[in-house]
A and B are shown apart, each in its own frame.
Chain A
């Protein structure tokens, strides 16, 4: 009888172990992998404080923040004073900004040593295997703002669908976590990372208008979850430099998806493609012999999948490029007219980005001048040979240049009648003007939306 009972008892104990700890317990434990992060962006004449949520990814104190935490184009030098807080605590810890990973878009931080021992990386919890099933219940962590000591709270919802966008993403019925924070299943297994939420349509009724549609985005909570399979393999992508480099460069812009009707007509059933529109001269794509109107339908032997909605394939293609490093070769199968071809593209180094550009704030004149970048040339549809001049990055409201009509994103081509060929030349000229307090005026030739205008700026 005793012999009979023991196995029974063992089986019972095992069952208790498999059934997870109660949710409040799991919730309090998983809080060790999440933090609130504060920093500010130091612009020319103002500071913008930012609060975002981050997830701990290793024992070295590395924290990832969602891509949207920092606007593109902000130079790392303008990001100041990173502070990390534990949920429910007012004690702050310093952190250093490590840069943005070009593939995932995540920003990486490293927090100071003394906090590290109280953190648990998300990788130390078990992760779910495979995709969560439809209607599975997931839960996550939300953090309140600083005035509530970043108090954590519990959110949960069920999986509505799993989509490829192009990464596998679960959409839940309701908000399940703050963007940037992890989501778990009932057993406490890591299921994924909450992304920036989708916009939702609402109607606003007012006295004069019957139901005006507006799009609202919940920035504090999200119902969109990037699944663990897409998160875990990439957590080691800590940028080698604060600029995020190396970044692979293909050099075709304005890629357009192909709808299923077009694919059918071109005999590319059940697959998709991207149409190449703007191939910049001198770019890797141009050097490989790609032309505008070429349709790419396979990369490295893998056909581009048919994803929904159609435009997702453009993101998919972009990721295929960013997965590589500069110098790697990409084999593309293309359709040119009705002819199929194979083209090998040797990826280059991404040209200088806005966040890396040289810039200088001329305090008395009231504007920031920035070097002209390859990206500006694309925006202004300028040939590489025409890419001279400098860009206006910022205009101080009410300043002399603002009064004269100078605006951010203006392209300055001449200063005082002298054609500007380099940033250094522009900076030397403008600095001399800035230093000369007796100078009555300056004249700029600027280009804006393809139109040029001569601006006379009265300085005194």
Chain B
């Protein structure tokens, strides 16, 4: 009884500090679905991590499409904030509080400090703090269920890819929608993770980005506003149980399940079924799924445009390849709406083109066509890829913007060429 009280007292000191640093985030963001420009609102959580007002939250809470970010401090005062940078791959975003407004209104706040997420063990007590379902300043308690959980989700952050470069903390502390971006903390109030997702419908299966990943990403976002990663086009598979087939020593190699067509690895001659043995001379061990993110991270952290030496086992042979990295891109490109046409679009990216076996990355994808507006009336529909208007090839989004401007100045029927499953169709957008 006495012991429990002593522990409780210790907990409350560290805890009060971290509670002062947790904020509620209200976001208004622009959406380009259904052929129109629309605004939607959302609620998330965040944690202040520096004396100059930097806030860590999730990339799926605040994205570059946010037009208004309002932060509710621990003292329930509201202040504006701006996006410093985001990284959907780790589901992290960094905000900065409006310090001018803070000063003018004489408001203060506390900053939380990080713990070492590598020291966590399964069974350790942790607390999640945040705004589940809009319930400001909610604390839930649980344990670390697993400190090295692997999952990758190709559309996990509002359609953006996530999870390839880090493992996650799993906890049974209740995490609900709105907890996103809030901290997972230890009993002494150290932030050891950023709560990010949960299995909806399951009981207490929540996931957080480890603090050690969050610290590194936050530092890079402060510096550059974005994280640049390298890409070579390998999709890994686990080697588990296949070592004997490939005649490999145990704990060696990563299976290549797919090579993206047209990627640097494909150009260099790598093939699905090859086993990656070394990367720039360092041994690779991808026996289990949990071991894949560090390998992916090693590839991603190569400088863009650098030449990487890959040693690969193919059949009985060991073959050396040199692969020149390129910049990693998301499958999701820039979005826009042409309101008089009732048409919203997204730029085709190299990643999207490779995934969908398109010949190149030119064109824009139709996200939506509003019923009754010229685009929908012409027959254009979600999923069509617009490649040409009149005689103008739409290689970039800017080209379509130019065509649209000309149309606004002088509305005339436009002949639109679009593809779907590589089938080319023609449409006429009429005023």
* Chain A interface (Cβ < 8 Å from any Cβ of B): 254, 256, 258-259, 261-262, 264-266, 275-278, 292-293, 295, 337, 381, 413-414, 416-418, 441, 443, 445, 447, 450-454, 456
Contact = CB atoms under 8 A, between A and B. Distances in A.
Interface in B214-271: 235, 237, 241-242, 245-246, 255, 257-259, 261
A450 B357 contact: yes
Contacts of B378: 261
Contact of A454 (B255, B261, B314): B255
Interface residues on B, range: 20 to 34
5 contacts: A256-B426, A264-B428, A292-B424, A454-B255, A456-B245
Contact of A262 (B258, B357, B415, B421): B415
A452 B259 CA distance: 8
B52 to A, nearest CB: 45
Given A293-B424, A417-B245, A450-B355, 13 more contacts: A254-B423, A261-B428, A262-B426, A275-B424, A277-B422, A278-B423, A292-B424, A293-B417, A417-B246, A451-B257, A453-B237, A454-B242, A454-B273
B360 to A, nearest CB: 14
A357 B235 CA distance: 33
Interface in B324-373: 355-357
A259 B427 contact: yes
B425 interface: yes
B430 interface: yes
B415 A256 contact: no
Given A259-B379, A265-B415, A277 B242 contact: no
Contacts of B425: 256, 275
Contact of A453 (B245, B258, B422): B258
Interface string B380-409: 000000000001000000000000000000
B315 to A, nearest CB: 5
A337 B272 CA distance: 40
Interface in B171-217: none
B423 A256 contact: yes
Given A254-B422, A278-B422, A454-B237, A265 B428 contact: yes
Given A445-B273, A452-B258, A262 B427 contact: yes
B245 A443 contact: yes
Nearest to A381: B357
B413 interface: yes
Contact of B426 (A258, A445, A452, A456): A258
Contacts of B427: 259, 261-262
Given A261-B378, A443-B242, A254 B421 contact: yes
Contact of B424 (A259, A277, A447, A450): A277
Given A278-B422, A450-B357, A265 B245 contact: no
Contacts, number: 85
A452 B165 CA distance: 21
B423 A277 contact: yes
Interface string B110-151: 000000000000000000000000000000000000000000
A265 B413 contact: yes
Contacts of B315: 417-418
A380 to B, nearest CB: 9
B421 to A, nearest CB: 7
Contacts of A278: 422-423
A447 B242 CA distance: 19
Nearest to A293: B424
Contacts of B423: 254, 256, 277-278
Contacts of B258: 451-453
Contacts of A261: 378, 413, 427-428, 430
B238 to A, nearest CB: 10
Contacts of B379: 259
Nearest to B377: A261
A275 B426 contact: yes
**Residue of B417, B419, B428 with most partner-chain A CB within 10 A:** B428
Q: Which of B245, B422, B426 has the most CB of A within 10 A?
A: B426
Contacts of A262: 415, 426-428
Give 5 nearest A-B pairs by CB, closest first. Answer: A254-B423, A452-B272, A261-B428, A256-B425, A445-B273
Contacts of B426: 256, 258-259, 262, 275, 295
Nearest to A253: B423
A264 B430 CA distance: 12
B257 A452 contact: yes
A438 B315 CA distance: 22
A293 B415 CA distance: 13
Contacts of A381: 357, 422
A454 B272 contact: yes
B430 A414 contact: no
Contacts of A292: 424
Nearest to B235: A451
A387 B379 CA distance: 35
A258 B378 CA distance: 11
A264 B427 CA distance: 11
